[in-house]
Amino acid sequence: MASYKAPLRDLRFVYYELFDAEATWAELPGYEDATQDLVLAVVEELGKICGEVLEPLNSVGDEEGCQLRDGAVTTPTGFIEAYRLLQEGGWTGLVGRPEYGGQGLPPTVGAMATEMLCATNLAFAMYLGLTEGASHALDLHASEEIKQKLIPKLIDGTWAGTMCLTEPQCGTDLGLVRTLAVPSGDDTFSVNGSKIFISAGDHDLTENIVHLVLARLPEAPPGIKGISLLAIPKLREVDGELVPNGVGCSSIEHKMGIKGSSTCVINFDDSIGWLVGEPHKGMRAMFTFMNSARLHVGVQGLALAEAASQKAVAFARERLQGRSLTGVKYPQLEADPILVHPDVRKMLLTMRAFTEGARALTAWASLAIDVHDRHPDPAKCSEADDLASLLTPVVKAFQTDLGFDATNLALQVCGGYGYTREYGVEQLVRDARITQIYEGTNGIQALDLVGRKLPAHMGRYLRRFFHPVQQFLEAEAEVPEMQEFVGPAAKAFERLQRATAWIAQEGMKNPDQAGAAATDYLHLFGYTAFAYLWARMAKISLAKREGSDKDFYDAKLATARFFMQRLLPKSGALFAIIMAGSDAVMAFPDDAF
């Protein structure tokens, strides 16, 4: 099968033509030097490493998995060498702050990097992503002493990071956490408890691992209001030496996918740690990590779809099977490539429309985070935070749902060959499935959208999305060449507005109405967001259909047309399902299941 090629031209289109990232960063203190030439050179170089080094290790990681021997986890063959290559090249600190030894590039550049890393080797990329997330959470919430102690080593890749939330009796309901942290009489705490499903919980890539752990202090308030966050290293420094800190891995999970990523049961036995942030305010700090991770997982959905699409297109060009329904298209060959068949083309275009739409939505959300983090105007910071908060559950859930669909479509295109291990497509299907589950299942993301984000601040979050969409659609409504794009987008937007009003009204009277509609509403939101972005991409492409890039813009327009005509009509079905209400769901007797 064809090897991965970083989608450099489309990255440039999305980040510099659809969104003017360079102009955005020029207004953000510390990011002024992130020029287009610099960023694209960085992205291109990392793309080469991903294709040449990480992708060949993807099947190795899947076949070997991680191994637990004598309480220590070893990663698959080649992972250590690949990690050292990235560490020595400074890639572990790409978006880390310069004062801690990082490169200081905007987090949006990290999103571009994440796409390429995850497209080529999701299991390996998780070790890097979790460390970056831990570093970011510590930077925002830890004391200066803890920051200086931990962050430089996380950024230079000497140490790794994790987040430890889940326990056997609690997953989403973190108010049930039982891990106990007792003050030691100084500035440290002694922690006892067990955490499960801890990604990258133990491994041999770094000399130490810093766990961010949710725990309960003595006499803490019950429920979620009594949760604190602690930083607990696997090894702690005593007189300049690293010694065991009561942190151990008792088992690793045998999983459906991402087998090269160690998913561990981690036990804390009188482990010494430091409080991060205020007592009983741990969820505030952990949500910094979780929200970042949710966007990261949304990018994973995009990345695996891109990888699957590349494999499917290559196969469809090479696989000869039958003749076109409208006559021979390749007479020099003994049969036409399956690329000529309508059903195959439909699947390939569905994957393409999704990946390019998801890349645009990712950029929109990521740039909003950059603005929130650094813009000197508090009003713009607040607006950007509103938009990022609203889009986060959509990016996570919609992009992973459709990402999994895309990997399945790729397998279907490749047929029996796709079902075999050597083509790598069936691994993408298995790897993609977890993205719909971890960092909060997609059903939880949908409940977050309708239960928290929609009513927040009297609908203020929604206005950050609704207003620019409405303004664009109204401005383009009378432009003849935009009618085929604006018309369908406007219909989907109207359905979204009506569904939003219905959920707001009916959900207050009966929460089950909102709960039953939540996932369908999130998908309606996702399709509408894609429609808006595809209409904008079409407008740009119409204006640039000349010169050496004409083929690129023609293809962009053709994909936009396919999305509007063949995919966006699903918004009508979603709207009908939402408006049907919850009766058919909730009236079914429990005993009849």
CA distance 531 to 568: 7
243's enclosing H/E stretch is strand 241-244
For residue 329, which phi and psi values (nearest 5 degrees)?
Answer: -105, -25
CA dist 370 → 8, 33, 285 (Å): 21, 14, 18
Cα-Cα-Cα-Cα torsion 257, 259, 263, 265, nearest 10 degrees, comes to: 110
Asked if 81 is an active-site residue, the reply is no
The answer to whether residues 363 and 19 touch, using CB atoms and an 8 Å cutoff, is yes
The answer to whether residues 291 and 140 touch, using CB atoms and an 8 Å cutoff, is no
CA distance 73 to 200: 10
| Beta strand 235-238 pairing with 241-244 | antiparallel
Report the amino acid identity of residue 302: L
The answer to whether residues 523 and 346 touch, using CB atoms and an 8 Å cutoff, is no
End-to-end CA distance of the chain: 44
| Beta strand 227-233 pairing with 208-216 | antiparallel
CA dist 270 → 61, 248, 415 (Å): 33, 11, 53
CA distance 34 to 505: 46
R_g of the chain computed on alpha carbons: 24
Map tokens 């430890």 to a residue. 164
What would you measure as the largest C-alpha separation in the chain, in angstroms?
83
CA distance 178 to 175: 9
The closest of 64, 53, 40, 116 to 87, measured between CA atoms, is 53
Residue 76 in tokens: 């698959």
The answer to whether residues 497 and 466 touch, using CB atoms and an 8 Å cutoff, is yes
SS3 276: strand
Selected catalytic residue, list 253, 383, 439, 476: 439
| Beta strand 159-164 pairing with 208-216 | parallel
What 8-state DSSP symbol labels residue 214?
E
| Residues identified as active-site | 439
